[in-house]
Structure 1
Amino acid sequence: MSQSSQFALLAQRRFGPFFWTQFFGAFNDNVFKTALLTILTYEALSWTSLDPGLLNNLIPGLFILPFVLFSATAGQLADKFEKSALARYVKLLEIAIMTVAAVGWMTHSLWLLVAAVVGMGLHSTLFGPVKYAYLPQQLKPEELVGGNGLIEMGTFVGILLGEVLGAVLVVHKPWGIQLVAYGTIAIAMIGWLFSRRIPDSPAPAPDLKINWNPLTETVRNIGFTRQNRPVFLSVLGNSWFWFYGAVILAQFPVYAKDYLHGDHSVFVLLLTVFSLGIGAGSLLCERMSGHKVEIGLVPFGSIGLSLFGFDLALASTHYTNAVPVDLAGFVAQPGSLHILFDCMMIGMFGGFYIVPLFALIQTRCDRKHVSRTIAGMNIMNALFMVVAALFAMVLLKMGFSIPQIFMATALLNALVASYIFSLVPEFLMRFLAWLLIHTVHRVQTVDTDRIPEEGAAVLVCNHVSYVDAIVIMAASPRPIRFVMDHRIFKIPVLSWIFRTAKAIPIAPAKEDPWLMEKSFVDIAQALHEGELICIFPEGKLTTTGEMNEFKGGIRKILDRTPVPVIPMALRGLWGSMLTRSPGNPFERSFRRGPFSRLSLVVGQPVAPAVATPEALYSQVRELRGDWK
């Protein structure tokens, strides 16, 4: 899917009305919340005697409290009932909540406004499972990353515009309060009108019996999600992002006022560049992932979150201005552009981190349990955000400055990410594979959609270099178990990647008959469990650039487990550093230059009955052509 078609989804009824319903919901949330936080930061004494720093961490915590209490119920409702109707009811609830908030604004009642904050949290709790379960029902697999990217971009643009409008309107004299009070009702009504255009999305589990006990259902939801380890750890990774973002964003109002000595326009500017970064990162995922679910971007995003979070703390300590400034005055200060750049990069790498995680959760969890899985994720997100609010408040009470909180959060992110990636090495392995084909090589893929989305199959490919498996791994939308020569399997550094990928080492019968037999047993077990197996039937790397004959091992595999065979061909790797091409490997690489081109071509599936070594050799040779 091209980048233009990603945006073409906005013109289609299956996506456009839903996108705008979500957009105006996020927009309204943030008009209201930001107006409230702004008034409590810059005009606190006329509303309350509580500390503004405490309120700036408490109010976001109250907003996500309903996620803890009601997400389990919301997930069940989204699995049991048709989703477009649920969306309309949620939008009607939003209109009612904004009406209550308007009374709070007009009567100067802080606690009525706080009640509305909790109400909007409930609104988002109910809509969350609908949002992320709707997408895999309406979008094709190849559209899912692009659709998620658009939703994340739209959400954060809505957040940005809402934050800007809320901060600007509420301080507008003398009608600021009235503009916010009535404007939020109007925005809620626009969202409801769009929700009426959302097409029907059938319930995946209409016979589900709802458990109204949130505690037991929460435990059951999380327990079900834990059965799928990659999905559960992706949920944890997603929740960690919300911890990180909640800590950083909650400090922005006081950070802008007390550390940057800016007025509310400086606070708006920080939110603007952060949100633009998130939107840009979310959209770039479509191009950087090659239009598939590329979890290799998750470690890349995590590295950026730590690096730029740490740098933001350092840049803040070097900011020396001590006089009040407006937006123009702040931008003119030495060090201000450095701070803005860090905020934008944190947002951008956040987009790289979060979009592939959402897509992985949607594609790998049980289709009848998507909404409840998303609800379980929302519960985890809420718990992490509550802990984030407590974490920030404890650090403030301990005397930490806001730049020190930024630094502590960035360091903690590095530790947590390392732990998660050690539990699921597939993330880091895919990152290394993604890095290889985006730095050393430029890889063109042809017909990779012929690799089956589910079910067992054997992939066969010519063997050109020591990184063949990594190139194929990076191009495949699914994990692959590789069968490879035991000597290549033991190569330092690459060995760790192959072990992480659960590769299956094999040796000739005359060298190690026990290992050879064990390899075929492991292959049969993997195929029985519905996995993809990739073999290199030549049995060794080419030393001339031409293909060697295919060995008979493929028939032994298929006789045990008859499954489809997918022929593939690598083109353009011969002569690179990690081939057995004659001559100095560094000289060969220098001649090829950086970003050398290569291609992976996938052929039509072959039935197991006719998949002989000779027939497969002929097909792979034809796919490869004359480009070695």
Structure 2
Amino acid sequence: MAGSQFDLLRRRRFAPFFLTQALGAFNDNVFKNALIILIAFQISELSSTQVDFYSNLAAGLFILPFFLLSANAGQWAEKYEKSRSIRWIKAAEIILMGLAGVGFWLGSLPFLLGVLFLMGAQSAAFGPLKYSILPQALRPKELVGGNALVESGTFLAILLGTLAGGWLMGLDRGVTLVSAALVLIAVAGWLASRGIPRATATAPDLKLNWNPVTETWRNVMFLRDHRAVLNSVLGVSWFWFFGSVFLAQLPNYTRLYLGGDQSVAPLVLMLFALGIGAGSLLCEVFSRRTVEIGLVPLGALGMTVFGIDLYFARPGMADVTGLSWQQFLAAPGNLRICIDLLAIGMAGGFFTVPLYALIQQRTPRERLSRVIAANNILNAAFMVTAAILAILLLHLGLNVPQLLLCTAILNALVAIYIFTLVPEFIARFVAYLVAKALYRLDVNGLEHVPDEGAALIVCNHVSFMDAVLVLGAVPRPTRFVMYYRIFDLPGMNIVFRATRAIPIAGSQEDPALMERAFAEIDAALAAGELVCIFPEGALTRDGEIAPFRKGVERILETRPVPVIPMALRGMWASMWSRRDSRLHRMRLPRRFRARVQLAAGEPIAPELASAAALEARVRELRGEAR
């Protein structure tokens, strides 16, 4: 589809990188799933307890290098040109895959676990490059689509690699075939990396700090001063905690609780990965190519609801074991399990893609690789903790379904905590749901809203829902200036407070409140924030735009910033306007889910932004559609 996220796959600035990272993820999972199949099904002397132990140990060994090496990898990614670094890392992968082939030929589990640790080290070096190169290669409006393709491509590669690893290991000469495939795929990844365009160093003068402890602390301190980024990083890390618990338990869960043979293990992993890929791709559709963090609470809710349902779908041991994947799908009750696994993955896509895009959008370019490194460090800490906690809880007597249930419930508690720290997530979620439930909103011109820096938005004021619609459409956090009686509306007051809206009153009603409002507006603009005002000062009573008041000129005189004109169209005939107020008629259902529009114009310089000029521009944007 022209102009969609898939158009990036034809661009040299994205396609070679996408192919490189997808092949890397594919190769990782050919190896890891071949190793898991070896542990769970082909080493007959291992007991169920030992299978649990080695599955969790493998998960911990793979991510441990992220904790140890990410700080240095982040510095390296800032200081040096990125495409060359990626090529060196992919060359190292060829050597590692050769060692993996030796390990399979020897049949040595300790040797293979050592190779797995080295693969984790290679992935730790690639991580900061992977996410910091995207903002250099993509335009701001492509960031969500690019991240969605990377996430979905990664999990599609996980799916295919999982299937390929299990299938190859099941063949007569499985060890030889797996070993050959690993080396060939690594070579293909290195060849793809040679097409990645140059991505210049963002901090070439950076002095490398080789002490991972002090550098990690420095990165964490930087995050502490950027609260939204910090909590996005924590959200991503929590997702990897959640996902690592589920993925580490799936092989034994498949064998003991689903009753499947080694053909069912790839199917279960496939459903989880396919769900994440689908959820990632749907993010751009639902977010209209902006960073829509309102999807994050929706994802968190889905992870908990379907995680809990997965427990109730199969809380105990399977009655029948050794089922093939066809028999498993045909067995009663298993369709529900498949839907739960798919839905958990899809919710995970909704949860992570906006968080990654927000980190990239709100982090200074010269710090992004190190922030990604800090993210990887926290990911590693969370995943190591997940592996240790899983081993401990299973040792204390919990079975695998009970462990997954505890993780789903804990997800709800963690999500509530994160959203309490950053109410913007919930505010955007509520605004998104309300806008979708009550209106069919078409948006155009949002590319005129700057990605960073202070700006003032002015918009016509038609209904009590105007601020909610603008909040749900504009990708950046926006401070709204609104009449204090609307600010105090029951229910919506929670949203307005969460977005730090600024209540204001007329000079005759409450002069002190009005002065506080102007002071707060100035402080917000001074801090580089986006502020939206409705210069008419009240809801329209006849659907026409009232004269703009001089308050906008007072704001710009104190703090000259660009002004973004916006216009709402079609709101007068919708619910919550004053169209029928004087006649005291019921707001008829025909206006429910009305089709409305929000149009944004080019920024106007502050010296040209008089009240009259802004009013004329908003009238022009609105046209005849009241």
Q: What's the TM-score, normalizing by structure 1?
A: 0.97
Please name the residue that 1:96 is paired with. 95
Please name the residue that 2:21 is paired with. 22
Please name the residue that 1:573 is paired with. 571
Instruction: Say which SS state the counterpart of residue 133 (structure 2) adopts.
Output: helix
Instruction: Say which SS state the counterpart of residue 600 (structure 1) adopts.
Output: strand
Please name the residue that 2:538 is paired with. 540
**Structure 1 residues 335, 319: closer, same or farther in 2, change over 3 A?**
farther
Aligned-partner Cα distance in 1 for 2:585–2:102 = 73
Aligned-partner Cα distance in 1 for 2:301–2:609 = 44
Q: Give the superposition deviation at 1:44.
A: 2.3
Instruction: Say which SS state the counterpart of residue 331 (structure 2) adopts.
Output: coil
Q: Give the superposition deviation at 1:48.
A: 9.1
Q: Give the superposition deviation at 1:622.
A: 2.0
1:30-41 to 2 correspondences below 5 Å: 30-41=29-40
Aligned-partner Cα distance in 1 for 2:56–2:181 = 25
- Residue pair 1:321, 1:333 contacting (<8 A) in 2 also: no
Please name the residue that 2:254 is paired with. 256
- Residue pair 2:256, 2:317 contacting (<8 A) in 1 also: no
Please name the residue that 1:513 is paired with. 511
Please name the residue that 1:302 is paired with. 300
Unaligned runs of 5+ in 2: none
1:65-464 to 2 correspondences below 5 Å: 65-173=64-172, 175-317=173-315, 321-464=319-462
Letter of the structure 2 residue corresponding to residue 620 of structure 1 = V
Aligned-partner Cα distance in 2 for 1:182–1:282 = 32
Aligned-partner Cα distance in 1 for 2:35–2:458 = 61
Q: Give the superposition deviation at 1:567.
A: 1.6
Q: Give the superposition deviation at 1:589.
A: 4.4
Aligned-partner Cα distance in 2 for 1:215–1:194 = 34
315-324 vs 147-156, which moves further? 315-324
Aligned-partner Cα distance in 2 for 1:552–1:442 = 33
**Structure 1 residues 121, 589: closer, same or farther in 2, change over 3 A?**
farther
Please name the residue that 2:42 is paired with. 43
**Structure 1 residues 586, 372: closer, same or farther in 2, change over 3 A?**
farther
**Structure 1 residues 126, 520: closer, same or farther in 2, change over 3 A?**
same
- Residue pair 1:14, 1:198 contacting (<8 A) in 2 also: yes
Please name the residue that 2:56 is paired with. 57
Instruction: Say which SS state the counterpart of residue 601 (structure 1) adopts.
Output: strand
**Structure 1 residues 318, 400: closer, same or farther in 2, change over 3 A?**
closer
Q: Give the superposition deviation at 1:49.
A: 10
Aligned-partner Cα distance in 1 for 2:157–2:130 = 15
Deviations 1:458-477 (A, max 9, x none): 11111111111111111112
261-270 vs 537-546, which moves further? 537-546
Letter of the structure 1 residue corresponding to residue 578 of structure 2 = R
Instruction: Say which SS state the counterpart of residue 294 (structure 1) adopts.
Output: coil
- Residue pair 1:569, 1:624 contacting (<8 A) in 2 also: yes
Instruction: Say which SS state the counterpart of residue 34 (structure 2) adopts.
Output: helix
Aligned-partner Cα distance in 2 for 1:389–1:370 = 28
Letter of the structure 1 residue corresponding to residue 352 of structure 2 = I
Q: Give the superposition deviation at 1:318.
A: 7.8
431-440 vs 109-118, which moves further? 431-440
Q: Give the superposition deviation at 1:180.
A: 1.1
Q: Give the superposition deviation at 1:138.
A: 0.6
Please name the residue that 1:478 is paired with. 476
Instruction: Say which SS state the counterpart of residue 588 (structure 1) adopts.
Output: coil
Q: Give the superposition deviation at 1:201.
A: 0.6
Instruction: Say which SS state the counterpart of residue 598 (structure 2) adopts.
Output: strand
- Residue pair 1:456, 1:531 contacting (<8 A) in 2 also: yes
- Residue pair 1:319, 1:334 contacting (<8 A) in 2 also: no
**How much is the aligned-residue C-alpha RMSD, in angstroms?**
1.6
Aligned-partner Cα distance in 2 for 1:586–1:357 = 44
- Residue pair 1:76, 1:371 contacting (<8 A) in 2 also: yes
**Structure 1 residues 106, 126: closer, same or farther in 2, change over 3 A?**
same
Aligned-partner Cα distance in 2 for 1:530–1:30 = 44
Letter of the structure 2 residue corresponding to residue 107 of structure 1 = L
Letter of the structure 1 residue corresponding to residue 280 of structure 2 = S
Q: Give the superposition deviation at 1:5.
A: 3.3
Aligned-partner Cα distance in 2 for 1:604–1:17 = 35
Deviations 1:524-561 (A, max 9, x none): 11112221211111111112222222211111112211
Please name the residue that 1:620 is paired with. 618
Letter of the structure 1 residue corresponding to residue 74 of structure 2 = G
554-563 vs 16-25, which moves further? 554-563
Identity of aligned residues (%): 52
Q: Give the superposition deviation at 1:115.
A: 0.6
312-321 vs 120-129, which moves further? 312-321
Q: Give the superposition deviation at 1:357.
A: 0.4
Instruction: Say which SS state the counterpart of residue 515 (structure 1) adopts.
Output: helix
2:497 pairs with one of 496, 499, 502 = 499
**Structure 1 residues 301, 91: closer, same or farther in 2, change over 3 A?**
same
Aligned-partner Cα distance in 1 for 2:460–2:482 = 12
- Residue pair 1:236, 1:380 contacting (<8 A) in 2 also: yes
Deviations 1:229-278 (A, max 9, x none): 10011000000000000001111100110111110111111111111111
Alignment: residue pair count: 625
Moved over 6 A (4+): 47-50
Aligned-partner Cα distance in 2 for 1:380–1:184 = 29
- Residue pair 1:3, 1:287 contacting (<8 A) in 2 also: no
208-217 vs 240-249, which moves further? 208-217
- Residue pair 1:576, 1:585 contacting (<8 A) in 2 also: no
Aligned-partner Cα distance in 1 for 2:67–2:20 = 23
Instruction: Say which SS state the counterpart of residue 533 (structure 1) adopts.
Output: strand
- Residue pair 2:257, 2:316 contacting (<8 A) in 1 also: no
- Residue pair 2:438, 2:594 contacting (<8 A) in 1 also: yes
Aligned-partner Cα distance in 2 for 1:615–1:201 = 43
Aligned-partner Cα distance in 2 for 1:607–1:101 = 61
Aligned-partner Cα distance in 1 for 2:208–2:55 = 36
- Residue pair 1:485, 1:506 contacting (<8 A) in 2 also: yes
- Residue pair 1:319, 1:336 contacting (<8 A) in 2 also: no
Please name the residue that 1:8 is paired with. 7
Instruction: Say which SS state the counterpart of residue 44 (structure 2) adopts.
Output: helix
Instruction: Say which SS state the counterpart of residue 130 (structure 1) adopts.
Output: helix
Q: Give the superposition deviation at 1:490.
A: 1.1
Q: Give the superposition deviation at 1:319.
A: 8.3
Deviations 1:339-376 (A, max 9, x none): 00000001111111110000000010121011110000
**Structure 1 residues 414, 50: closer, same or farther in 2, change over 3 A?**
closer
Letter of the structure 1 residue corresponding to residue 606 of structure 2 = P
Letter of the structure 2 residue corresponding to residue 71 of structure 1 = S
Aligned-partner Cα distance in 2 for 1:556–1:421 = 35
- Residue pair 2:92, 2:122 contacting (<8 A) in 1 also: yes
**Structure 1 residues 308, 291: closer, same or farther in 2, change over 3 A?**
same
Aligned-partner Cα distance in 2 for 1:8–1:566 = 29
Aligned-partner Cα distance in 1 for 2:425–2:487 = 20
Letter of the structure 2 residue corresponding to residue 271 of structure 1 = L
Letter of the structure 1 residue corresponding to residue 421 of structure 2 = L
Letter of the structure 2 residue corresponding to residue 81 of structure 1 = Y
